[in-house]
Structure 1
Amino acid sequence: MWSGERLDLAGYLERIGHDGELRPDLATLRTVQRAHIAAVPFENLDVLLGRPVELDLASIEGKLVRGGRGGYCYEQNSLLAAALERIGFEVAGRGARNRTRGDALLPVTHAVLVVTVDGEPWLVDAGFGANGPTEPVPLRPGAEVTQGEWDFGVAEEDEGVLVLRTRRTGTEQWRDLYAFAAQRLYPVDFVLMNHWSSTHPSSFFTGRLVAMRPGSSRRLALVDRELVRWLPGGSEERSAVAPGELIALLDREFGIRLSDRDAAELVRILPAGD
């Protein structure tokens, strides 16, 4: 289903820095997801640069594995799905509705994975950017897990809709991240969602730079030229990024290395602000 048999598994494992034993068990699922998220940044630069986002495995490997770049949810989770399938996991896709942008009802455009281990389903997501989980989350209503400085929980709503929520560890207020139903999605569905997200003027990813990186204690988000850091203890820092600092910051903070041509084009098209 996810072209796992065609994946250069050795190349993928080198890219994410994983050298442990591989088995279709929960320990492997955790270490692979953690390593993937730590190594492969979330970013939409191809959309901003006016390039198509291709979801065939060869294109994803060329960009995220051999090219040292990152990508957004369809690329990230398609690559992770191929790797997990190759290792021997049962992997299914789901489509989720983002709930982090106020009260507006947004379309189902976020792609996530459900991985079954010993008969139990786990939510696995390497593509929700700064707010997403860094390890699997048990997919049962009422489940709660702590991942570094953040808690994640699963709630159930009408019609069997499941909601992934988060809060800062030690606080009381949960915040919805996204909601999804049990309907299974396939790679072809990711292609359709990807087309909307990469081309529609209402998409969050068209016309702006987005780069994000989750972590156990520090999380980063860059949207156009504003950098946000969520730090241990609950503090938050916001700062503007000058055009002359942008390329170095993408490399230093997100591990995104661009060619000279792409770097120059990115600086040219990104609004300089006041």
Structure 2
Amino acid sequence: MWSGDELDLDAYLARIGFPGGSAASVDAGEPRELRPDLATLYAVHRAHTAAIAFESLDVLLGRPVALDLKSIEVKLVHDRRGGYCYEQNSLLAAALERIGFEVSGRGARNRTRGDFVPAVTHAVLVVMVEGEPWLCDAGFGHQGPREPLPLARPGAEVRQGEWTYRVREEEGGVLVLCLLRGDTWRDLYAFSPQQYHPVDYVVLNHYSSSHPASSFSGRLVVQYPGDGVRRALVGRELTRLHPDGRAERETVGADELLAVLDREFGLRLPDRDAAELVRIHRAGD
């Protein structure tokens, strides 16, 4: 389903800094680190979210966001760019499928933007390990999980570094991912049991990348879920989010934009793209 057989697994594992893994070892059933078990799922998920930033720069630059695996691989792996949820989780799904996991998609509603009912625009994954489902998501930006979360035990609190998550259940089997910020639990997104396929993400991606009402349209968005401080650059505002609920904010001007992208998010763009991004950023001053 996820074109895992087409993925350059060696290049992907090198990109995320995964130690000791290779396509040959997967095909041979060794080493142990690449078996479709829970330890591997944790390790790959954590390495992926540590290495690849969330970003929607192509939308801001007026370019189409391609979701075929080869295009995603060129951009996120070989060109060392980041991506948003459809790209990130499609790549993760392909890698997990290649390793031997059973992976299915879900569509989620973002609940961080107010009390209204938003459309389904977020892509997440459900991965089966020894008969139990686990939520995997490498594409929710700075508030997203760094590791898988169990779905078979709704309500259980899961500590990930200095951050705590839980998944609670609502009527109709809807599951809600929540994040503890300070002393307050906050909903991140909600998803139903309905399975989504890659072609469904093509439709969602079309809205997110081109509709004028999309939260990515005409706006710079780059985020990173650190172990301690979480970082987000939205428009001109750089936010550093702390586990205790504190948020530090500063304004990023055009002259410092490229340095901030490199230092805070590990992103370095080709000269032409960098110049165009700075021009757009300066035009909004």
The CA deviation at 1:207 is 0.5
Q: Residue 9 of structure 2 corresponds to which residue in structure 1?
A: 9
* Secondary structure in structure 2 of the residue aligned to 1:270: helix
CA distance in 1 between counterparts of 2:172 and 2:87 reads 29
CA distance in 1 between counterparts of 2:69 and 2:124 reads 17
Q: Residue 57 of structure 2 corresponds to which residue in structure 1?
A: 45
Q: Which amino acid is the alignment partner of residue 143 of structure 2?
A: N
CA distance in 2 between counterparts of 1:166 and 1:238 reads 20
How large is the RMSD of aligned CA atoms in angstroms? 1.2
2:71 to 51, 59, 67: 59
CA distance in 2 between counterparts of 1:196 and 1:260 reads 29
The CA deviation at 1:172 is 3.5
Unaligned runs of 5+ in 1: none
Structure 1 segment 206-225 matched on structure 2, within 5 A: 206-225=217-236
Post-superposition CA distance 1:22-72 (Å, at most 9, x none): 110111101101100111110000000000000001100000000010000
Residue 153 (structure 1) aligned with residue 166 (structure 2)? yes
Structure 1 segment 227-246 matched on structure 2, within 5 A: 227-231=238-242, 233-246=244-257
* Secondary structure in structure 1 of the residue aligned to 2:238: strand
* Secondary structure in structure 2 of the residue aligned to 1:174: strand
CA distance in 1 between counterparts of 2:15 and 2:155 reads 35
Residue 205 (structure 1) aligned with residue 216 (structure 2)? yes
Residues 273 and 54 of structure 1, relative CA distance in 2, 3 Å threshold:
closer
Do the aligned partners of 2:155 and 2:167 also contact (CA within 8 Å) in 1?
Answer: yes
Q: Residue 112 of structure 2 corresponds to which residue in structure 1?
A: 100
Identical-residue share of aligned pairs (%): 69
Post-superposition CA distance 1:71-121 (Å, at most 9, x none): 000000000000000000000000000000011211000000000000000
2:186 to 172, 175, 181: 175
CA distance in 1 between counterparts of 2:66 and 2:151 reads 29
Q: Write out the 4+ residue segments of structure 1 that deviate beyond 4 Å after TM superposition.
A: 271-274
Do the aligned partners of 1:154 and 1:165 also contact (CA within 8 Å) in 2?
Answer: yes
Q: Residue 26 of structure 1 corresponds to which residue in structure 2?
A: 38
Post-superposition CA distance 1:115-145 (Å, at most 9, x none): 0000000000000000100000001322220
CA distance in 2 between counterparts of 1:54 and 1:273 reads 27
CA distance in 2 between counterparts of 1:187 and 1:237 reads 37
Do the aligned partners of 2:163 and 2:243 also contact (CA within 8 Å) in 1?
Answer: no
Post-superposition CA distance 1:163-199 (Å, at most 9, x none): 010103xx43210000000000000001000000000
* Secondary structure in structure 2 of the residue aligned to 1:159: helix
Do the aligned partners of 1:208 and 1:270 also contact (CA within 8 Å) in 2?
Answer: no
CA distance in 1 between counterparts of 2:202 and 2:246 reads 38
Q: Which amino acid is the alignment partner of residue 15 of structure 1?
A: R
Q: Residue 151 of structure 2 corresponds to which residue in structure 1?
A: 139
Do the aligned partners of 2:231 and 2:241 also contact (CA within 8 Å) in 1?
Answer: yes
Do the aligned partners of 2:253 and 2:282 also contact (CA within 8 Å) in 1?
Answer: no
Do the aligned partners of 1:242 and 1:272 also contact (CA within 8 Å) in 2?
Answer: no
Q: Residue 26 of structure 2 corresponds to which residue in structure 1?
A: none
1:85 to 97, 105, 123: 97
Unaligned runs of 5+ in 2: 21-32
Do the aligned partners of 2:253 and 2:281 also contact (CA within 8 Å) in 1?
Answer: no
> Scaled by the length of structure 2, what TM-score is found?
0.93
> Scaled by the length of structure 1, what TM-score is found?
0.97
Q: Which amino acid is the alignment partner of residue 133 of structure 1?
A: P
Residue 254 (structure 1) aligned with residue 265 (structure 2)? yes
Do the aligned partners of 1:224 and 1:271 also contact (CA within 8 Å) in 2?
Answer: no
The CA deviation at 1:271 is 5.1
